[in-house]
Amino acid sequence: MKFDDAAAAIAAAGRRMDTLGWVPATAGNLSVREGSGRIAITRSGCHKGALSPSGVMRVDAEGASLEPGARPSYETLLHCGIYRRFPDAGAVVHGHSVANTVLSRRAGAEIRLAGYELLKAFPGGPTHETEVAVPVLDNDQDIPRLQRALDALWDRTPEAPPGYLIRGHGVYVWGADMPQAMARLEALEFMLLCHLEEGRTAR
């Protein structure tokens, strides 16, 4: 994918996430793998609802800026970790919804989702008659250390679903391209919101 196309896809996805309330203030980050070791990713401090292609820059596979003086998202290394681990991943999205923030604060090591029609958006089965365990990791401002925790998790669960939660922080989801990543994010956010509502009405 050319950089201009990647930047346009990122900007459109960022605006979509903003309309859904998933990237308040300057929260969230998005990326697309261009190939040849290059990743297009949002710049640090950009509001995703007002994102334009100029709010996107390039980094290498290790997260180093390819644009002198430019600063990518603080969590760039988590995007790089996904691309390194999952060769089919072509886009990564990270958001901060109320549902994923509240549920991750309450959860243990995972949130189990079962019986939802939108589980079809994830690998593993063509029907709702399946179950997905979404991992929840403790928040850590030391991003390399957080990535090491993710690598250890993935080493134990190589068939992990294309998404995870950071406790009290947000969600990461990826796909083969931006449309698939966004479809998976919307499916997961819907199921998390249902899960939150079920917990509220059960009290």
Q: Which residues are annotated as a binding site for Zn(2+)?
A: 94, 96
**What residues form the annotated binding site?**
94, 96
Long-range contacts of 46-54, Cβ-Cβ distance < 8 Å, separation of 24 or more = 47/18, 47/23, 48/14, 48/15, 48/17, 48/18, 48/23, 49/14, 49/15, 49/18, 49/19, 49/23, 51/10, 51/11, 51/14, 51/15, 52/11, 53/4, 53/7, 53/8, 53/10, 53/11
User: Could you tell me which of 194, 175, 193 has the C-alpha nearest to residue 13?
Assistant: 175
Structure token pair of residue 197 = 């509502």
